[in-house]
């Protein structure tokens, strides 16, 4: 059926008991050895790292992005599987999806139970991911878990312990997978891919951009948002209440941050549904007027990745704002002309709904 490359990064699917708790330890070959390889599929393993995904940095994620590009440069490869910790899987998957411009799939999977657990879910997930990677085309970056295939965009970890760990709470899965094969229900909507970021490593002049997330709650004030700006954040995700609401004081802080060239994205702590301009007196109406960008149905982790990709695309504040709106699907193609998106715009139009 084809050649699939497994890029191993760690997580529970590669974890063993450490004496006090579990941690990623095993290499990709050990992880692959637990799974049945679908008939006709040949597999090559790339051992990239073996870490718990809560410890991943932007530098790790950009290394993964570069590795995927290098692997796909080989035309004999039919697809990629990334084994990854579930805690931040949705962030790495979305980052790769924003930059993915190849018909061949990149399929993320992992496990909720450790490598050698007798009732482990890793072997089945890995089998299903291999089958999906060898089979589908033009679906971008996918997440395969518990027999379900999700588009990277919008998908979040929804269970801390149960095997059906992932879903898009505001959408539906794109396919199902079983030993019999993959049944595709729909193709994900994706904007034109961003080119690879030029700054993929900390530079001599500074680190990779700092992007923070701040949650609003009763009695919340602008202190942490302002602290993020003072710490040098180039982007901030405001995790607001309801459909995207906070306070007049936070709106003022957002306006001041945006005036300094900081990107501010607005999401919500509610699990399902979009943010929307409904309320004033510190609500989304005022936050948007202050310069915050609505993130549709993206939750905090992926909203942060959208901001990160925009910040990596150019150093120009206006260009960053356009890039952010582009990846969020909130700007018409004609207005998106940053250095990051110009090449992408030449070949494809955005296809994502806000």
Catalytic positions are 12
By CB under 6 A, residue 12 contacts ligand ASP: yes
What is the DSSP-derived secondary structure letter of residue 219?
A: T
| 234 makes contact with ligand ASP (CB under 6 A) | no
- Which residues between 124 and 153 bind ligand ASP (CB under 6 A)? none
- Those residues whose C-beta lies under 8 Å from the C-beta of residue 157, and which sit 6 or more positions away, are 86, 87, 89, 90, 165, 166
* Cβ distance to ligand ASP smaller for residue 13 or 80: 13
State the minimum distance, in angstroms, from the CB of residue 216 to ligand ASP: 26
Burial environment of residue 195 by CB neighbours within 10 A (0 to 12, 13 to 18, 19 or more): middle
Q: How far apart are the first and last CA of the chain?
A: 37
Q: Determine, following the binding rule CB under 6 A, whether residue 53 of this chain makes contact with ligand ASP.
A: yes
**CB 9 to ligand ASP: min, Å:** 9
SS3 (DSSP) at 57: coil
Is-contact 146 53, C-beta < 8 A? Answer: no
Q: Is 34 in the site for ligand ASP (CB under 6 A)?
A: no
Question: Which span sits near ligand ASP by CB under 6 A: 49-57, 71-79, 220-228, 271-279?
Answer: 49-57
The 254-273 contact track toward ligand ASP, x by CB under 6 A, reads --------------------
| Owner of token pair 């033009």 | 138
Interface region with ligand ASP, contact rule CB under 6 A, candidates 30-38, 79-87, 91-99, 273-281: 79-87
Going from the C-alpha of 291 to that of each of 119, 282, 299, 318, 335, the distances in angstroms are 49, 13, 19, 12, 17
Of 304 and 325, CB closest to ligand ASP:
304
Does 11 interact with ligand ASP (rule: CB under 6 A)?
yes
Task: Please say which residue, 122 or 283, places its beta carbon nearer to ligand ASP.
Answer: 122
> What is d(CA 306, CA 328) in angstroms, rounded to the nearest whole number?
7
By beta-carbon proximity to ligand ASP, the closer residue of 112 and 132 is: 112
What is the spatial distance between Cα 83 and Cα 96, in angstroms, rounded to a whole number?
14
Query: Taking the complex as a whole, how short is the minimal distance between the CB of residue 312 and ligand ASP, in angstroms?
Result: 23
Closest residue to ligand ASP using C-beta atoms:
85
Dihedral angle of Cα 324, 330, 334, 337, to the nearest 10 degrees: 0
Which of 8, 58, 83, 86 binds ligand ASP (CB under 6 A)? It is 86
DSSP 171: S
Pairing of strands 211-215, 235-240: parallel
Q: Does 110 bind ligand ASP (CB under 6 A)?
A: yes
Q: How far is the CB of 11 from ligand ASP (least distance, A)?
A: 3
Among 50, 112, 295, 302, binds ligand ASP (CB under 6 A): 112
Cα separation values, 254 from 42, 221, 284, 291, 340, Å: 51, 12, 12, 7, 25
Q: Is 97 in the site for ligand ASP (CB under 6 A)?
A: no
The helix, strand and coil proportions of the chain, stated in percent and rounded to the nearest 5, come to: 30, 20, 45
**Smallest distance, Å, CB 56 to ligand ASP?**
8
Binding piece for ligand ASP, criterion CB under 6 A, among 82-90, 92-100, 291-299, 310-318 = 82-90
Q: Which residue, 60 or 190, has its beta carbon nearer to ligand ASP? A: 60
What is d(CA 126, CA 109) in angstroms, rounded to the nearest whole number? 7
Closest CA to 307 of 221, 241, 208: 208
Please give the residues from 186 up to 215 whose contact with ligand ASP meets the rule CB under 6 A. none
How near is the Cβ of 112 to ligand ASP at its closest, in Å?
A: 5
Residue 229 to residue 210: CA distance in whole angstroms: 10
Binding site for ligand ASP (CB under 6 A): 11-12, 24, 52-54, 85-87, 110, 112
């Amino acid at each position: 059926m084809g050649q699939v490359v497994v890029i191993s990064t760690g997580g529970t699917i590669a974890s063993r008991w450490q004496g006090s708790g579990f941690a990623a330890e095993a290499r990709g070959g050990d992880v692959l050895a637990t799974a049945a390889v679908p008939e006709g599929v040949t597999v090559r393993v790339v051992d990239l790292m073996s870490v718990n995904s809560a410890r991943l940095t932007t530098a790790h994620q950009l290394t993964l992005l570069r590795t995927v590009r290098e692997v796909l440069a080989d035309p004999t490869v039919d697809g990629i599987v990334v084994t990854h910790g579930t805690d931040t899987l949705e962030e790495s998957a979305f980052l790769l999806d924003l930059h993915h411009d190849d018909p061949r799939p990149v399929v993320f999977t992992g496990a909720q139970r450790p490598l050698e657990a007798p009732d482990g879910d890793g072997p089945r997930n890995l089998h299903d991911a291999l089958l999906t990677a060898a089979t589908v085309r033009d679906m971008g970056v996918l997440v395969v878990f518990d027999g379900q295939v999700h588009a990277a965009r919008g998908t979040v970890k929804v269970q801390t312990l149960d095997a059906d760990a992932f879903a898009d709470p505001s959408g539906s899965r794109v396919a199902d997978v079983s030993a019999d094969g993959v049944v595709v229900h729909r193709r994900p909507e994706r904007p034109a891919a961003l080119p690879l970021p030029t700054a993929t490593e900390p530079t001599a002049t500074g680190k990779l951009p700092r992007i923070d997330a701040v949650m609003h709650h009763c009695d919340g004030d602008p202190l942490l948002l302002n602290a993020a700006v003072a710490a040098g954040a180039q982007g901030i995700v405001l995790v607001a209440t309801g459909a995207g609401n906070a306070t007049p004081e936070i709106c003022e802080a957002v306006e001041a941050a945006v005036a300094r060239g900081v990107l501010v994205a607005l999401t919500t702590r509610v699990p399902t549904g979009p943010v929307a301009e409904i309320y004033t007196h510190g609500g989304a109406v005022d936050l948007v007027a202050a310069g915050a960008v609505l993130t549709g149905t993206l939750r905090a982790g992926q909203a942060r990745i959208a901001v990160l990709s925009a910040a990596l695309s150019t150093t120009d504040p206006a260009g960053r704002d356009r890039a952010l709106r582009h990846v969020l699907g909130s700007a018409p193609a004609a207005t998106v002309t940053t250095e990051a998106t110009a090449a992408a715009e030449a070949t494809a139009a955005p296809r994502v709904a806000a």
